[in-house]
Amino acid sequence: MNVGQPSGAGHPNAGLAAGDTLDRYELLCPLAQGGMAAVWLARLRGKHGFQKLVAVKTIRPEHAGDQRFQRMFLDEARIAASITHSNVAQILDLGEENGVLYLVMEWIDGDSLSKLLRVVQRAGQRVPLGVALRILADACGGLHAAHELRDDSGQLINVVHRDVSPTNILLSNKGSPKVIDFGIAKAMGRLAEETSAGVLKGKISYMSPEQALGRSNVDRRADVWAVGSILHMALTGAPPFRAENEVLALHRLTSGKPPDPLPADVPPQVRAIVAKTMAFNVDQRTPDCATLQAELEQAMVACNCLTTPADVGLFAAHYLADSARTRQELVQRSIAAASDRERGGRPRMHSAGTPSGFSPVAPRDTSSSGALGAGSGNGSGRGNASASSSGLVSPFAAASNPSMPSMPATRLEPSFQRWNTAPTGMSAKERWIVTAAVLVTALFVGVVGAILYTAVMRWHGSKVEPATTSPTTTTSATR
């Protein structure tokens, strides 16, 4: 469905649950939720058994009737859908079903950079220099593609992400970074109002000084600063401007003082990159992400740490093995539950009702795994110095979320129960009726066959017996 302006109809308390469908997309399970939106794992099904996993992003029910949130949602769709780059999450579709706006995105089987940094730090290690440089160099390629977006007349629309952070960089299982969540991106022609002066949007830990000061002339160099801040974080294990609270961190950021020093073992080439990307004076900063990408590539050569995406994938797989296994089990359970619903003849179509897609959970984990950002900003315009302004929650544990599907039948169950879960397209009751009919028919055929066999044998015996004469009878006749 082509959505131009939000309709604003049919939104109140429109709840979603596993098994609901939005046009061609069947919702399988919730992946993440933020202040503005929720992200679902879903599947697109077609003819001849075709199916494809996707991520579906929807506005949360409590904001579904808010025109401001709808405009932000549509802005994100328009901006992100225009970007064609392997390091930006691909937008596949935009639609509206019964008043519910939804955005369909590629399913990224992986975890966020923030989660990788956190797990490595918990292990008492640091991300290898080559891995950090490769991830950020590739992310710069995606950001530069966004910055270079133009309208139909060829004029730059001046896209600025404004929320580049480890949370909004997903790493696929092949080691390819994907920039996500353009929900608060700045661009010409947005439907939503531009951020007012003095209002913060984004994460303070990775926010440029001019953005933190609420200036209206923020450009692509704000995203350059953010990439430099992420590199600083990867090298030190802490935000560039550490402080006891957000207010002090914001004061340090806007004071013009340099960030916290880097470890002594950081090569000079990398030090120079961090210093230039995080220059307080915008005119002294690295001019764009294409230049920064080239500098990061050159640093890998100079530091003798050339790294490929495959190397990144192997490194991430080592530290995120548990997360990957949990995610795979979640996907398998969700698909199995969907198949059970289909066999039971209970397809669901979305309708208005009480929200049932999520259990109440606190935003304890800000990384999004295998999904896309659930929405940046809370609509209030307040800044957020935590790891994520979206407050994403990734409820992968089925035990902690009653909306998650249960495990399918295991191989230890009796053979009849395994057969009962076979994809026959019939309900369980219909299958047992067919089974009983087959058994009765077989029994009937067997009994009739036995009766016929006995009758034939008796008839055959009556024909043969008179022609048989014993030796005693023959002797008597001769005499």
- Structure confidence at residue 8 (pLDDT): 40
Q: Which CATH class is domain 110-317?
A: mainly alpha
Q: What are the angstrom distances between the C-alpha of 257 and each of 3, 275, 395?
A: 46, 12, 40
User: To 5 degrees, how large is the angle CA 84–CA 55–CA 175?
Assistant: 60
C-beta separation of 117 from 206 below 8 A: no
- Structure confidence at residue 172 (pLDDT): 95
3-state SS, residue 56:
strand
CA 234/CA 211 separation, integer angstroms: 22
DSSP secondary structure code for residue 89 in this structure: P
Catalytic positions, written as ranges: 163
Helix 221-236 × helix 268-277 angle, to 10°: 140
Mark the ranges of the chain whose per-residue pLDDT is less than 70: 1-14, 184-185, 187-202, 345-431, 461-479
DSSP secondary structure code for residue 34 in this structure: -
- Structure confidence at residue 370 (pLDDT): 53
- Structure confidence at residue 292 (pLDDT): 98
Residue 113, token pair as written in the block: 């950079």
Domain boundaries, the chain: 110-317, 412-448
Which tens digits make up the pLDDT trace of 416-450?
333 344 444 455 666 677 788 888 888 888 888 88
DSSP secondary structure code for residue 255 in this structure: T
Query: What pTM value is reported for the model?
Result: 0.70
Which tens digits make up the pLDDT trace of 387-421?
333 333 333 333 333 333 433 333 333 333 333 44
For 155-210, give the DSSP string.
-B---B-S--SGGGEEEETTS-EEE---TT-B-TT-SSPPPPTT---SBGGG--HH
